[in-house]
Amino acid sequence: MAKPNKKGPSKTVDIYCAKCKTQLLKYRKGGKGALVKCFKERISQNFTNESCVCPKCLQIFARETLIKGTPAYKIIGGKVWFK
């Protein structure tokens, strides 16, 4: 399988917790579809203390996994929103 493009897109999106509205990540997202996964190499800023856990309300918003052989966060549906 092909690996994702390391550089990725230049446009970044801000990812927020759906429960407490705290900013979690700044991510270089490609395309205009839903946020399903976040490749770790495309995260430009990480505001969490512990991976996949919101620092304010301690809600788990993703799971760590390998996608196409690359470390990524698999987002749990409805736990985050982005703009």
Mean pLDDT along residues 39-66: 96
**In the predicted structure, residue 47 carries a pLDDT above the cut 70:** yes
H/E segment holding residue 46? strand 43-46
Q: What is the pTM assigned to this prediction?
A: 0.89
**In the predicted structure, residue 41 carries a pLDDT above the cut 70:** yes
Confidence of residue 7 (pLDDT cuts 50, 70, 90): low
Mean pLDDT along residues 26-36: 93
Mean pLDDT along residues 47-53: 95
Query: How many Cα atoms sit within 13 Å of 18 on the Cβ side?
Result: 10
